[in-house]
A and B are shown apart, each in its own frame.
Chain A
Amino acid sequence: DTGVSQNPRHKITKRGQNVTFRCDPISEHNRLYWYRQTLGQGPEFLTYFQNEAQLEKSRLLSDRFSAERPKGSFSTLEIQRTEQGDSAMYLCASSLDRFRALEAFFGQGTRLTVV
């Protein structure tokens, strides 16, 4: 399967713990995005990479959040000292270069539950 792959699909963690999610984009896509979706809402933009460079971070991304994309391939999103408000679906998407940048293809998401 050559779609966007996210792992794990589900994560339950205790408040205060750190969690890390992984995203493997479609191989020829150089743009990678992270979005967060809470119940009853559409996805909200968190951050975006072009190749290995992180070019924008939303104000939703507090200091407890960090994202990396080493070598411009897979990406990781880490949340430190998780809070109950972090419970959400974390979605990764990728797209081709600027001419088709807004046609984003999403992974299946990682559902985070903080207890």
Chain B
Amino acid sequence: TQLLEQSPQFLSIQEGENLTVYCNSSSVFSSLQWYRQEPGEGPVLLVTVVTGGEVKKLKRLTFQFGDARKDSSLHITAAQPGDTGLYLCAGGWGDYKLSFGAGTTVTVRA
């Protein structure tokens, strides 16, 4: 059972377009991580957010943590084919356990 719900499940866009994926939960998390995973590989950590309302930018990626620390969003500006992958959010429980969402599969067409 995934405690974090991600939406949409699939997203296909043209190169140069913008996209946003969402991560929602009824639980409050001490921190939230975003990972990107390519087929047959392990997840790669993109960012950690810990403070309610926090916004972090990583080149064309913008991450936001909700004020109540229950939700988060990932916005990609001017998407490129290299952004294709499975985007996973993970909420921190205590100081060691991550609870992952099912992910959003993003496909950027050239």
Contacts and interface: CB of A to CB of B under 8 A. Distances in A.
**Do A and B assemble together?**
yes
Contact of B41 (A50, A102, A103, A109): A109
Contacts of B76: none
Contact-residue size bin, chain A (C-beta under 8 Å from the other chain): 20 to 34
Contacts of B90: 42-43
Contacts, number: 68
Contact of A45 (B44, B97, B101): B97
Nearest to A95: B96
A4 B101 CA distance: 22
Interface string B32-65: 0101000011111100100000000000000000
B105 to A, nearest CB: 9
A107 interface: yes
Interface of A: 4, 6, 31, 33, 35, 40-45, 48, 50, 55-56, 91, 93, 98, 101-109, 111
Interface of B: 2, 4, 30-31, 33, 35, 40-45, 48, 88, 90, 92, 95-103
Q: Which 6 A-B pairs have the closest CB atoms?
A: A42-B100, A106-B42, A102-B92, A101-B95, A109-B42, A98-B95
